């Protein structure tokens, strides 16, 4: 394995571990916290707002710092999105994501981090999420 490939794997692993630890420490692997944030009429839990706000600050500072470089460490050039329009697939995806997130309290990052707890709901949700990810593209081509 090349040194660059090894470095890329180590950087990916480190990023995933930091992200997972952040989710676990902030309580975002707990579906009750997420659903509590969405329950404006009941016992509202503002924790998710602080986590999202912290993430935005870190991302803003990170982008400003990283984009000053001519290229990322393990790629020849930056790969930034160029599409800026809001179209039907984006809206449908956002609605499906939001409804699923509200009903279950999980999105992809926390469900993967939550697997370490061995909760039955997580062990059921993770495989069904993966199946959904695998069938989404072929289904989108049909429609």
Dump pLDDT digits (tens) for 121-142: 888 888 988 998 899 888 888 8
pLDDT band at 4 (very low <50, low <70, confident <90, very high): confident
Q: How far is CA 18 from CA 33, 109, 129, in A?
A: 20, 12, 22
Residue 14 pLDDT more than 90?
A: yes
- How far apart, in Å, do the first and last CA atoms of the chain sit? 42
- How large is the average pLDDT for residues 28-56? 89
pLDDT in the model for residue 69: 92
pLDDT in the model for residue 73: 84
H helix and E strand count, the chain = 6, 0
pTM: predicted TM-score of the whole model, two decimal places: 0.72
Give dist(CA 27, CA 32) in Å, integer. Answer: 9
Compute the mean pLDDT over every residue in the chain, rounded to the nearest whole number.
87
Dump pLDDT digits (tens) for 96-115: 888 888 888 888 888 877 78
pLDDT in the model for residue 31: 84
pLDDT in the model for residue 49: 92
Dump pLDDT digits (tens) for 45-89: 999 899 999 999 999 999 899 999 999 888 889 988 898 999 988
């Amino acid at each position: 394995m090349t040194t660059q490939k090894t470095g890329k794997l180590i950087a990916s692993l480190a990023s995933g571990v930091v992200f997972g630890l952040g989710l676990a420490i902030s309580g975002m692997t707990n579906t009750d916290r997420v659903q509590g944030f969405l329950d404006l009429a009941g016992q509202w839990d503002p924790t998710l707002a602080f986590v999202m706000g912290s993430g935005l600050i870190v991302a803003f500072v990170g982008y400003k710092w990283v984009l000053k470089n001519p290229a990322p460490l393990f790629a020849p050039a930056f790969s930034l999105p160029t599409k800026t329009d809001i179209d039907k697939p984006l809206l449908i995806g956002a609605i499906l994501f939001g409804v699923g997130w509200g009903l279950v309290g999980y999105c992809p990052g926390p469900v993967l981090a939550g697997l370490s707890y061995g909760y039955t709901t997580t062990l059921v949700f993770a495989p069904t999420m993966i199946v959904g990810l695998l069938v989404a593209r072929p289904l989108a081509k049909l429609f």
